[in-house]
Amino acid sequence: MPARVLTVAGSDSGGGAGIQADLKTMLALGTHGMSVLTAVTAQNSLGVQGVWELPVEAVRAQYRSVVDDIGVQAVKTGMLASTELVEAVAELLAGTDTPAVVDPVGVSKHGDSLLAEAALDSVRTKLLPVATVATPNLDEVLQLTGVRVTAESDLRRAAAALLEFGPRWALIKGGHLTGEAVDLLTDGSEELWLRAPRHDNRHTHGTGCTLASAIAAGLAKGLGVPEAVTAAKEYVTGAIAAGFALGEGIGPVDHGWRFRG
């Protein structure tokens, strides 16, 4: 039986991010992906045209349906949208004895808001404390901690601020900086700097979802956090390099890049 990974996130109708990107990543990495849908979006390469949250009861029912029967070996969270959803999912994670990768999605690749301002405090006080790994990008770090990262030297300060909210590990993604694509993974004592060449490719929709799902897949297969993050960084770097045009805007990364001839 393949390792079982559960994503709790929103749907991207364009297939580049969200639940769709998560499941593609999980399949590409040899795991069985399962899903709890938190919201439906009307979304394409140009942006997000609409968002409809699912009721909290529907999210709880999906989660319990999967976990109680099939079981999970890692959970990944993405778009949670509202305070009510954040708190419900945090409660579910706290009651599940399995690693949790929290991608605190705040805005889409196109700059569209995917998290209510009022929900930020619940992310800090409820969701981050139950995270095995939290994976914010620099905009999300600023939202959550107030730390503005403008250079690689700021990453350590950003990680320290995030760890104060309780995740076991912080992965601060420096993809929005110039130069190399550098990320910092730390638990406050151990540090791992991950570097990759920056590819000249604007088709990067779904990078955050893909990275978090790849980490969850690694944890489900029994890897430690540093090993899972290292493998996920390698996978997403290849997916970015193979990203392709789709529609008139920002295309997706290629989740199946390892299968191309």
Q: Give the integer Cα–Cα distance in Å for 255 and 120.
A: 30
Is 208 annotated as catalytic?
A: yes
Is 135 annotated as catalytic?
A: no
Amino acid letter for position 28: A
Contact 56, 47 (CB under 8 A): no
Q: Is 57 left (phi over 0), alpha (psi -120 to 50) or beta?
A: alpha
Say which of 14, 41, 126, 209 is annotated catalytic: 209
Say which of 76, 109, 126, 173 is annotated catalytic: 173
Give the dihedral sign, CA 255/142/106/164.
positive
For the chain, helix (H) and strand (E) counts, in that order, are 8, 9
Q: Give the integer Cα–Cα distance in Å for 97 and 95.
A: 7
Contact 217, 28 (CB under 8 A): no
Residue from 48, 45, 3, 7 nearest 24 by CA: 7
Annotate 204-221 with b (16+ C-beta within 10 A) or e (fewer): bbbbbbbbbbbbbbbbbb
Q: What is the DSSP letter of 199?
A: P
Is 31 annotated as catalytic?
A: no
Is 150 annotated as catalytic?
A: no
Contact 231, 30 (CB under 8 A): no
Say which of 145, 204, 210, 237 is annotated catalytic: 204
Say which of 10, 14, 33, 206 is annotated catalytic: 206
Is 210 annotated as catalytic?
A: no
Say which of 207, 218, 221, 243 is annotated catalytic: 207
Say which of 208, 218, 243, 251 is annotated catalytic: 208
Is 204 annotated as catalytic?
A: yes
Q: Specify which residues 10 forms β-bridges with.
A: 39
What positions carry a catalytic annotation? 173, 204, 206-209
